[in-house]
Structure formats: C-alpha cells, structure tokens
Amino acid sequence: MATAFYQNFKLGILGGGQLGRMMIQSAIDFNIDIGVLDPDAQAPCKHLATYFQVGSLTDFDTVYQFGKNYDVVTIEIENVNTEALKQLQSEGVKVFPEPEVIALIQDKRAQKLFYQQHHIPTAPFILTEKQADLYQHLSFLPAVHKLGREGYDGRGVQKIRTEEEIKNGFDQPGLLEKLIDFDKEISVIVARNEQGETKTFPVVELVFHPEKNLVEYLFAPAQISAETENKAEAIAREVIQKLGMTGLLAVEMFVTKSGEVLVNEVAPRTHNSGHHTIEANVTSQFEQHIRAILNMPLGSTTTKVPAAMVNLLGEEGFTGLARYEGLEKALALEGVKIHLYGKKMTKPFRKMGHVTIIDQNSERLKEKVKQVKSSLKVIA
Ligand SMILES: Nc1ncnc2c1ncn2[C@@H]1O[C@H](COP(=O)(O)OP(=O)(O)OP(=O)(O)O)[C@@H](O)[C@H]1O
Ligand SMILES: [Mg+2]
C-alpha cells in the first residue's frame, strides 16, 4: 500500500514556484502534508504549503537539514544540491526523481552523451570547453551552442550560423549541436512509478509565431500523424526507462522535415508543456507526479477535450506591482481558465500565470487563443 496514506506522512518539495503551487493543489486531494524549501520568502507556495522554509536549494546543509524531516522528497526545479539528496537517500529518505538522474540532467553535456550511449535519436553534437574551440568546427555550422550547466528558459542557448557569430558562443564548457531545421517542436510527458509502471500523456505541440521566432501557444493533442505520435511516445518511454527514473519526465523533441523525431532535452519534473492537463486530461501532470513518486497506480492520461495553453508573461516596459488588464474580457470567453501564480511583482517576460483554453473545435480554439492574447496583458 502507498505509505502516503499512513498518518504523519510528509512530502517535501525543493522549490516553491508555480509548479510546486500546482502540485500542492493536487496533493490536497490526497490529504498529503507538504513542506517547501525556496530561497524567496515571497515564493508562490508560501501561504499554501503546510510548512514553508526559506533557504538555498544549492547549499548542502540547507537541503540536507530540510530533507531529513520528510518521508519523500521531490523537486520542482533541477538546480538543487544533489549531493545532499544522495546523503538523504542513503539515510532512508525516498528521493524522486533519483539524485543521480537529476545530476545527469543538470549537465546538458552528460545528457547528450547519455542519449548517444543509449541510441536515443538526438541532434549530432560536439563537446566544447571554451569559445575559441568553436573556430575548429566551422564545417559543423550552422549550429546551436549550449551552455553545459545552468542554462534556463533559453538563456544558455545561442545560434551560431556563421564564423562571425562565434563571438556569441559561451566561454565555458558547453556543446555545439547541429541546427535542426525542424518542422515542429513537440513535447511528451511521461511518468513512471517505483514498480516501473509507465504512462505517457498525448503529444503536445509548440506553435510558433509565424514572424517572430517565439512560441505563441501550446496545443494539445498535437496535430501530427499517428506515426510521428507513436514514435514520440515510444522515445519518451524509452528515455524514462533507460534513466530508470521514478516520477514525471518532460521530453522536448523536434520533428524534422523528413519526419524524424529527435530528443532535444528533458526535464525530470512537471513542465510548462503539461499545464493544460489540469483541464484537458483525466489526470493532470501534477496528480500524475504525486501518484508516481508515492507509488500509487498511475492515472489515465486520456484527453477529454482539445486545449491550448498561453503563458501569461510580464509585458515589456512594465516593472512593479502586477495588474492584469483584460482579465474579465478573457474570462467571458467560454472555456477560458485562468491560473495566476501569486507573484506580486511583474517584470518583462516573467512567468506570471497561464491561461488554458478548451474547446472541442480546434479552429474555434485557435480563434480564442488570438482573442485571449490580444486582450490579456500583465502590466504594472
Ligand atoms: N539543435 C537545435 N536546432 C534548432 N533549434 C534549437 C536547437 N536546440 C535548441 N533549439 C531552440 O532553442 C530552444 C531552447 O533550447 P533548449 O530547450 O535546449 O534550451 P533551454 O534553455 O533549456 O530552454 P527552455 O528552458 O526554454 O526549455 C528550443 O526550444 C528550440 O526552439
Ligand atoms: Mg527546452
């Protein structure tokens, strides 16, 4: 039986941002007490966690002392002290995802080598130690230079198309990856519990703005062929099984113009590309994560209704106390659901919330995305 239903069971989360906040919403239904550690005294989980502790996620002693109080420890961000987690594990605390898996994924170089060793399809790459190394690989261009560690939300990624652009490369250990002229970017969220039961969510598609090169919204289920869908789901399953990981894993992939599916990167936690599952699937990604790490049977991932998800980012030019302009107009549309993360202050591009839109008709869905995007703004 899942020990989570014994009296006094406690789950600890490293990180108290929006992902932790949505995890708590699911944990409440399982009647599970949650403790959260986050460096920010105003973190989104502050008022929702049963216990909230302010402290560094990367400091050995802080993570170790926090973790000692819990039966199971999990994460909502990868940048945590994995040595402390290994120590906790050796003392009997369950840590999911496993510390070794978090450590592997923290390093994009190790991650790529893992795909190579396990014959998981991924873009060709070369490891680099410093910026000057890039000059030795001119014939490998156009490429993408990626920082080995601590890149996040695209900050550790630079396109290097020509010799002139090498000056934008990183002067720290990284990897140079072939630029993929992809047809689509997709994501598959897969879960695995301690017994090895594995389930994938239907494929999600990242829809890019036709002119600006940025993700406009996410669409689920992806509009791709059954063949591509099967390939993507099989790859996601393979990755989590080969990692031997317990918990939830988001697998970001490219679909090339010739129909190949390549793994870009993974995140061993709940993910932005799974937010729509709260409304659109029988089980949400947050519930699935809890089921997986507490060794419960995994829930059905069946899609109930097509959905789109729009991130609510802080508008450019506004910094300060957040205000949500156009909220009522957006909410008046049928099938529009708002999620605000409880962040007091906005700044340009800060993730302040998201909007999920559900509609049985995919054309109407896309129309509503446009309406929401044009009316709803986070300003100060
Ligand atoms: N080899 C590649 N070819 C073409 N585009 C790429 C390649 N690698 C990355 N990109 C683009 O850059 C984006 C960010 O890259 P990646 O996911 O590796 O970095 P990240 O910093 O972890 O980003 P995020 O946190 O937003 O997921 C990808 O979503 C994709 O659009
Ligand atoms: Mg990414």
Termini Cα distance of the chain: 49
Q: CB–CB of 314/360 below 8 Å?
A: no
The order of strands in the sheet holding 174-178 is: 125-128, 174-178, 143-147, 157-160
| Mean pLDDT, range 14-21, rounded to an integer | 98
> Is residue 61 a contact partner of residue 45, using CB atoms and an 8 Å limit?
no
Ligand 1 atom nearest to 272, measured from its CA: 27
pLDDT band at 2 (very low <50, low <70, confident <90, very high): low
What pLDDT, in 10s, does the model give residues 276-330?
A: 999 999 999 999 999 999 999 999 999 999 999 999 999 999 999 999 999 999 9
Torsions phi, psi for 3 (to 5 deg): -65, -15
Q: What pLDDT was estimated at residue 5?
A: 72
Pick the atom of ligand 1 nearest to 151's CA.
21
322-358 pLDDT, tens digit per residue, is 999 999 999 999 999 999 999 999 999 999 999 999 9
Does the C-beta of 121 come closer than 6 Å to ligand 1?
Answer: no
- Write out pLDDT tens, residues 63-78: 999 999 999 999 999 9
Report CA dihedral (272, 273, 277, 278) to the nearest 10 degrees: 10
Q: Which two tokens mark 157?
A: 């990624």
Residue 302 corresponds to which tokens in the numbers above?
């069946």
The preferred substitution site among 112, 115, 255, 264 for testing ligand 1, maximizing ligand atoms within 8 Å of CB, is 264
Query: Which tops the pLDDT comparison, 325 or 2?
Result: 325
At residue 19, what is the residue type? L
Higher pLDDT, 215 or 320: 320
DSSP-derived 3-state class of residue 194: coil
Domains, in order of start, for the chain: 4-95 (3.40.50.20), 124-178 (3.30.1490.20), 182-379 (3.30.470.20)
**Model pLDDT, residue 199:** 98
Does the pLDDT value for residue 1 go beyond 70? Answer: no
Q: Please write the tens of the pLDDT for every residue from 128-168.
A: 999 999 999 999 999 999 999 987 666 899 999 999 999 99
The pLDDT value recorded for residue 215 is 82
Ligand nearest to the CA of 146: 1
Q: Which amino acid is at 212?
A: K
Ligand 1 centroid, distance to 14 Cα (angstroms):
25
Q: How far is the CA of 212 from the centre of ligand 1 (A)?
A: 15
State residue 6's pLDDT score: 67
Write b or e for each residue in 234-256: b if 16 or more Cβ atoms lie within 10 A of its Cβ, otherwise e.
Answer: ebbbbbbeebebbbbbbbbbbbe
143's tokens: 């490429």
> How many angstroms separate the alpha carbon of residue 153 from the centre of ligand 2?
7
- Please provide the average confidence, as pLDDT, over all residues in the chain: 95
Can you give the pTM of this predicted structure? 0.96
In which band, very low, low, confident or very high, does the pLDDT at 193 lie, cut at 50, 70 and 90? Answer: very high
Count other Cβ atoms within 10 Å, centred on residue 258. Answer: 6
